[in-house]
Chain A
Amino acid sequence: MAELLSLREAVERFIQDGDTVALEGFTHLIPTAAAHEIVRQNKQELTLVRMTPDLVYDLLIGAGCAKKLIFSWGGNPGVGSLHRLRDAVEKQWPQPLEIEEHSHADLANAYVAGASGLPFAVLRAYAGSDLPKVNPLIKSVTCPFTGEVLAAVPSVRPDVTVIHAQKADRKGNVLIQGILGVQKEAALAAKRCIVTVEEIVDDLNAPMNACVLPTWALTAVCRVPGGAHPSYAHGYYERDNRFYQAWDPIARDREAFSGWIDSYIRGTADFAEFKQKLAGEAN
């Protein structure tokens, strides 16, 4: 059974220094509040897994929480580069960042394999691509039935997965709607799973075949309204495209970035206070 906790307590108890952590959510429902809390608690030496690192990992990398990144597309969607990621890769700031790079199909399959309890995923991929030359973990396997050579990649099995969802009931069952990305697979592939939600309700009223993660498959559920900002939560709020644009100059410059996290993240007690501060600036 998942415990209903504050996000602070969930991150304190279930994310340790050195863990492999996946914060998933494909454009939609990106667990930003959890990334902030990881920075506030100054978790170190994390191996970060995420198909699209997005602003959440730009933040964690720039804040010095990461030693390694496993990813498949690292840009600021609709805007350009993730400058903290690039600075870490190109100039080793604030510390060297080991990268392990895949394609989307590969990582999506690797999460499926992880959730399936398998050590590796098999897919038709990478023939002719240079990615296997720079990622020794991309190997091949020969089909025992047809002889076809296919790509084999290690499954993703994080110590902790964190996702954001629309709602949970009071027992901690979670309903996710809209674009699902690899959230279900990431949740089930992990040893522990923390879910932040927009609201906690008496009854999920989930339609048949809806994506519901049962409470007994989760570790902690935390109510964090707005916790996916600046991404969106279908049915609750839209993507804050202007924030993605505003991130570019913040992240482009080391001092601007450090000042921003000192003030907005380390200088706020929690995500609610962060939101208040951000809203205050906008007025």
Chain B
Amino acid sequence: MSAYNTNEMMTVAAARRLGNGSVCFVGIGLPSKAANLARLTHAPEVVLIYESGPIGAKPSVLPLSIGGGELAETADTVVPTGEIFRYWLQGGRIDVGFLGAAQVDKYGNINTTVIGDYHQPKVRLPGAGGAPEIAGSAKQVLIILKQSHRTFVDKLAFITSVGFGEGGEHRKQLGLPGKGPVAIITDLCIMEPEAGTNEFVVTALHPGVTREQVIENTGWAIRFAEQVATTEAPRAEELEALRALEARTAAAHGQQGGEE
């Protein structure tokens, strides 16, 4: 087994959650990296859809922006952005929405809008993009982001895209078609919603990560499932595929995709 870093562990763990043949609406950055890693390893038949219009994109390098030319060239078809959201997402054809976030809370709600008051923001973030409707309408949602006190917060200043709302049955009451977030994959662990409360609890720790580390890097009183598994370390072929993808991307763009 070759040595690996925590970012690689995160990407590999996220990629593994994507089933072969599933139809995935891909956010830019970390989700795009993990989704393409899945396609290049265990899930060659995964269908990657990007909001700019490509359906069935098979890029050999990661796009730096959501509408990269290679996405279009390698896609089965390219449709207008309105059609992506209307027919393919709202029409109920997306199995998995793969999202990043600036911040999440314990119910898997996502903030990508603002830190501080909306009208007098401390930090103005980019905003919603496609995420609110992906979070609402995809049959299930995977969230990937690096874990820290500042990203895993007790109370979001702004809910851009809803997970389980206030927890429990709240999401159901909102009438959203999709099941909501089924996992948050970080550089330390995997969290999944607890039955009943729908609060995210740690269900797997990445190799070598302690509970204390997770507690320190979570802004709420994080809980652990009764059975906490240890994530399987990245296999040689996974690391090889990931590093080759990153190297191709760096060579093509002069920078790595998926780190913003």
A-B contact count (CB 8 A): 176
- Stretch of A3-11, A32-40, A107-115, A160-168 contacting B (4+ beta carbons < 8 Å): A107-115
- 17 A-B pairs besides A109-B85, A125-B136 with CB distance below 8 A are A73-B126, A74-B127, A82-B126, A89-B121, A124-B133, A127-B136, A128-B176, A129-B160, A130-B159, A131-B132, A178-B78, A179-B69, A179-B78, A182-B80, A184-B80, A234-B69, A241-B254
Q: Is A192 an interface residue (CB 8 A)?
A: no
Closest residue to B84 on the A side, CB-wise? A108
Q: Is B7 an interface residue (CB 8 A)?
A: no
CA distance A91 to B254 in the complex (A): 33
Q: Are the C-beta atoms of B128 and A239 separated by less than 8 Å?
A: no
Q: Are the C-beta atoms of B69 and A232 separated by less than 8 Å?
A: yes
Q: Is B220 an interface residue (CB 8 A)?
A: no
Q: Are the C-beta atoms of A126 and B132 separated by less than 8 Å?
A: yes
Q: Is A250 an interface residue (CB 8 A)?
A: no
Most chain-B CB neighbours within 10 Å: which of A51, A79, A101, A105?
A105
Shortest CB-to-CB span from B259 to chain A, Å, is 9
Contacts of B254 in A (CB 8 A): 241-242
Q: Are the C-beta atoms of B81 and A178 separated by less than 8 Å?
A: no
Q: Are the C-beta atoms of A103 and B82 separated by less than 8 Å?
A: no
CA distance A123 to B130 in the complex (A): 13
Interface size on B, residues (CB 8 A): 57
Q: Are the C-beta atoms of B66 and A27 separated by less than 8 Å?
A: yes
Interface residue ranges of B159-176 to A (CB < 8 Å): 159-162, 165, 170-171, 174-176
Residue positions of A touching B, CB distance < 8 A: 26-28, 51-52, 71-75, 77-82, 85-86, 89-90, 101-105, 108-109, 111-112, 123-131, 134, 148-149, 178-182, 184-185, 232, 234, 238-239, 241-242, 244-245
Most chain-B CB neighbours within 10 Å: which of A28, A73, A123, A128?
A128
Contacts of A245 in B (CB 8 A): 255
Chain B interface main SS type: loop
Residue positions of B touching A, CB distance < 8 A: 28, 51-54, 64-69, 71-72, 78-82, 84-86, 89-90, 109, 113, 118-119, 121, 123-124, 126-133, 136-137, 158-162, 165, 170-171, 174-177, 253-255, 257, 260
CA distance A75 to B83 in the complex (A): 23
